[in-house]
Structure 1
C-alpha cells in the first residue's frame, strides 16, 4: 500500500512539471556568391533600331475606305496617294458652297451697279443723302456676304480634301491596319510611314554608367541581324536623354545610324558598346550572377542580397543578357555584394530567423 502511494505521488510531480518547448531549428546555411564584374565582352547594352521620323496617319473624317493603293513594305514618294475615303457627301457640300458663292457674286454685281447709280443721282441732287447711304449699306452687306460664302466654300473644299490620304514624305510603308471597305473614323490609324534614311538605336543604360561615359566619344553599334561587313557601324552622333527612369534607374541613350545603311529596319535588335571615360575600350563592366539566383514574382524581378549580418533581403534588379548559366545585372546590385544562389532557401531563412 505505501508503495502504490509513492508511485502516485511521483506521477503527480511529473505531471506538474512544465512541458519542455522544442528548440527552434537553426536556420540552414545559405549558399552565396559575390557579385563580380562580367567579362569585358558583356559591357554592351541591348537596344532596338527605331525610325527618327515615323508617322501614324490617322483619319480626320468618317467614311468607308474606297481606294487602297499601299501595302506594308511599299516605297512611296512625298504626296503620293495612299488611301481614299468615300467623299461623295463632302463633294456635294463643296459643290453647294460653290453655287452659293456664285449667287452671292451675282447679287454683289447688282448691288454695285445700284450703288454707282445712286452716287450719280446724288451728285445731281436727285436723291437725298439718306437714300445714298442705304444703297451704300446694301452694297457693303452684299460684299461681306460674298466673302463669307467664299470662306465657307473653302472650308468645304478642305473638308473634301481630307478624304484623300497622301504620303507626308518619301519613305516606306510600315503598317496598313485597314482593308478596302473598312469604316474610317476620326482618330483611327490608317497607315504608318517611316523614313528609312534616318534610323537610330535606342538602349537603356544604368545611370551610373551614363555618368562615367566619356564626353564626345561615340559608342560602337552592333547589328547582329546584318551580314558580316555591316554588323559593326559607328553612329553619326549620340544623345543621352535628360531624364532617368525611376523604376529601373536607367537612362535612354540614342545613337543615330549613318544614312544609307542597307538592311536596317525599325524593330531590329542592336547592341551599343560604350567607350569609357578613362579612354578604355568599354565602360565599367556590368555584374553577372548565376541564373538560378533570380527571383520572379508577378512583375517583379529580384535577388536575395545578404546584408552585413548575413540576412537575405529581396531587392529588385534589372536583367541584361543571359550567357550560359550567368545573367547580366544592369542595375540594382553593386560589386562585392553577396547574393544567395538558392532563392527558396533564402525565403525559408527569412521565415525561420526571428
Structure 2
C-alpha cells in the first residue's frame, strides 16, 4: 500500500513538471521577440526646421528676345543643343534695316565730304588772317562753318552706330556658353519686341527657388544650411541659403528664398524639391522646440496617428501623436514625443503594444 502511494505521488510530480514545461514552451511560442530598427527623434533645444517647396533653376540663365519687329528668318539651333558664346541662335528678317543702313552710310559719306571741305577752308582763312588778308568776321564765319560740319559728321556717325546696333537685335547670339533649353518660335513666325524667342542656361551650378511663409521668413537668413529632397531622384542634397527676399508684394504673401546646392549631374532645371532649412533657435529666438521623425515610422489607425517607442524591458509601446508639417521625408511632431526619445522606424514582424523587441 505504501509503495502504491509512492507511485501515485511520483506520477503526480511528473505530470506537474510536464505541465510546467508545456506552459513555459507555450509562453515562449506565444511571445517571440521582434527584431526592429530604432533611432532617436531629431531636433533639440537649438534647432528648428523650416519646410518649403521649390523648383530647381540654373544660377545662370537667359531668355533672349529682340528689340525689332520682323519675321524669323533662320533658327539654326534646337532644344538641348550645346552652344558656345557668340554662336548664332536666331536671325530676324532685316530688309527694312538694310535699306536704312544704306541711307545712313550715304549720309556719312556726305557729312565727311562737307567736313573735309569746311576744314580746308578753315585752315586757309586761318593763314589769311595771320597775314592780315582776312578779317576777324570772315574767320569767325569760317570757324562756325567748320564746327557745324564737324558736328554734322558726328551725328551721321552716331546714326550709323545706331543702325549697326539694331543689327545685333536682328542676329541674336549666345551671351555665354551653355545649353538651349527652349525655343519659342519657328522659321516664318513674326517676332515682336520683347517677346521671348530662345531660352538657354549654363550647365553646372544649380539653385532652388523656394517660397517661405510670412510667419517663418523672419527666421531665415543667408548662410543657413538646408536639406534639399528630390523625390524624383530619391536623394537628398545639402545646400546653403544664398538669397532672401524681404518683400512679398508680387508673390502672394510668400517670400522668395534661393538656396545654392552642391553640383550633381543628375539634377535638371525644373525638378521639384522639398527643402528643410536649419534655423538656429538661439540666434533667431525661435520659441518652440521642433521634433521630427521619419514619415515611414508613423502608424495610422483611422484618424489617429502614432509611433512605436521603446518601453520597459524592451517592450514596444504605441504613442499617439499630433503632427504638423511634412517635408516629404520627415514629419514634425507637435505633441506626444520629445526630442532624443527612441522610436521604432521598421520591424521584421507585426508590432503591437507590449511585444518584446530586439535592436
Correspondence for 1:256: 260
Correspondence for 2:160: 153
Q: Secondary structure at the match of 2:197?
A: strand
Greater strand share, 1 or 2? 2
Q: Distance in 2 between matches of 1:265 and 1:189?
A: 21
The alignment yields a C-alpha RMSD, in angstroms, of 4.2
- Equivalent pair of 1:111/1:138 in contact (CA under 8 Å): yes
Indicate how the Cα distance of structure 1 residues 143 and 278 shifts in structure 2: closer, same or farther if over 3 A, else same. Answer: closer
Correspondence for 2:272: 269
- Equivalent pair of 1:217/1:275 in contact (CA under 8 Å): yes
Indicate how the Cα distance of structure 1 residues 104 and 175 shifts in structure 2: closer, same or farther if over 3 A, else same. Answer: same
- Equivalent pair of 2:209/2:257 in contact (CA under 8 Å): yes
Correspondence for 1:116: 123
1:112-171 CA-to-partner distances (Å, cap 9, x unmatched) read 222222223333333333222222222221111111111111111112222011112222
Q: Distance in 1 between matches of 2:222 and 2:151?
A: 63
Q: Secondary structure at the match of 1:168?
A: coil
Q: How does 1:57-72 map to 2 (within 5 A)?
A: 57-72=64-79
Q: Secondary structure at the match of 1:94?
A: helix
1:137 corresponds to which of 140, 144, 152: 144
Q: Secondary structure at the match of 1:234?
A: strand
Correspondence for 1:13: none
Correspondence for 1:233: 237
Correspondence for 1:175: 182
Query: Are 1:185 and 2:197 matched, yes or no?
Result: no
Q: Distance in 2 between matches of 1:219 and 1:335?
A: 24
Correspondence for 2:105: 98
Q: Distance in 2 between matches of 1:106 and 1:60?
A: 33
Query: Are 1:128 and 2:135 matched, yes or no?
Result: yes
Indicate how the Cα distance of structure 1 residues 139 and 181 shifts in structure 2: closer, same or farther if over 3 A, else same. Answer: same
Correspondence for 2:83: 76
Q: Distance in 1 between matches of 2:219 and 2:136?
A: 86
What are the ranges of 5 or more consecutive residues in structure 1 without an aligned counterpart? 1-38, 294-317, 337-354
Indicate how the Cα distance of structure 1 residues 262 and 127 shifts in structure 2: closer, same or farther if over 3 A, else same. Answer: same
Residue 90 of structure 1, CA deviation: 1.0
1:320-343 CA-to-partner distances (Å, cap 9, x unmatched) read 6799xxxx89xxxx879xxxxxxx
Q: TM-score under structure 2 normalisation?
A: 0.60
Q: Distance in 1 between matches of 2:130 and 2:60?
A: 67
Q: Distance in 2 between matches of 1:238 and 1:142?
A: 56
1:34-73 CA-to-partner distances (Å, cap 9, x unmatched) read xxxxx97998643321233332112210111111022221
Q: TM-score under structure 1 normalisation?
A: 0.61
Higher mean C-alpha deviation, range 143-152 or range 39-48: 39-48
- Equivalent pair of 2:221/2:244 in contact (CA under 8 Å): no
Correspondence for 2:63: 56
Residue 232 of structure 1, CA deviation: 2.4
- Equivalent pair of 1:276/1:283 in contact (CA under 8 Å): no
- Equivalent pair of 2:51/2:325 in contact (CA under 8 Å): no
Residue 255 of structure 1, CA deviation: 1.7
Q: Distance in 1 between matches of 2:250 and 2:104?
A: 56
- Equivalent pair of 2:184/2:198 in contact (CA under 8 Å): yes
Q: Distance in 1 between matches of 2:83 and 2:273?
A: 26
Query: Are 1:219 and 2:226 matched, yes or no?
Result: yes
Q: Distance in 1 between matches of 2:168 and 2:73?
A: 14
How many aligned positions are there? Answer: 262
Q: Secondary structure at the match of 1:179?
A: coil
What are the ranges of 5 or more consecutive residues in structure 2 without an aligned counterpart? 1-40, 44-48, 283-288, 304-323, 337-359
Query: Are 1:204 and 2:211 matched, yes or no?
Result: yes
- Equivalent pair of 1:204/1:253 in contact (CA under 8 Å): yes
